[in-house]
């Protein structure tokens, strides 16, 4: 079940969504996948997207209750909270932006015996359109060089830097 409320005024859009998903035969991932007869993921999402002249903003907050209905334990690798924030600014041929992702504490297993720490990452980017169909982008991911795992034993990359040359015919 899902229902939501949307509001749009000019360049601004806000949405509030309530969801309640009941799942039969939920198969967990991990070293030893488990088939949970009944799982339930319910919660809320509040989101915003808006533009102020050359500045684009976006934000979303998710509050979840992902549970094994038989044991009451949290579903593996599912956080009870997640926040995403982003901003982009354009001026002439230049574009600058950044995003933040915060994921709450969760467990790696169905027994909730192996915790996974919460984490926050920040990414930055800049691009320059030097010709009609061409641009170059520099991107710095995980600016704080945060060590984190999305699954036990699967460390995510530290700080990364990319340069991309893009041709997009119009």
CA distance 117 to 164: 32
pLDDT at 35: 86
Measure the CA angle with vertex 26, ends 32 and 17; round to 5°.
130
- Listed in sequence order, the DSSP H helices in the chain are none
Q: Low-confidence residues of the chain, pLDDT below 70?
A: 30
Residue for token pair 């790696």: 108
Cβ pair 14, 47 in contact under 8 A:
yes
pLDDT at 30: 66
């Amino acid at each position: 079940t899902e229902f939501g409320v949307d509001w749009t005024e000019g360049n601004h859009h806000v949405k509030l969504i309530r969801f309640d998903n009941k799942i039969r035969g939920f198969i967990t991932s991990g070293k030893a996948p488990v088939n949970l007869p009944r799982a339930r993921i319910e919660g809320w999402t509040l989101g915003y997207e808006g533009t102020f002249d050359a500045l684009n903003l976006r934000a979303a907050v998710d509050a979840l209750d992902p549970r094994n209905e038989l044991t009451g334990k949290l579903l593996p690798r599912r956080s009870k909270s997640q926040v995403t924030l982003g901003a982009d600014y354009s001026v002439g041929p230049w574009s600058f932006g950044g995003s933040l992702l915060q994921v709450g504490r969760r467990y790696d297993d169905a027994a909730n015996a192996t915790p996974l720490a919460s984490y926050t990452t920040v990414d930055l980017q800049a691009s320059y359109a030097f010709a009609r169909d061409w641009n170059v982008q520099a991107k710095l991911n995980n600016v704080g060089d945060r060590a984190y795992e999305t699954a036990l034993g699967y460390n995510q990359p530290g700080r990364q830097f990319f340069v991309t040359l893009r041709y997009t015919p119009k």
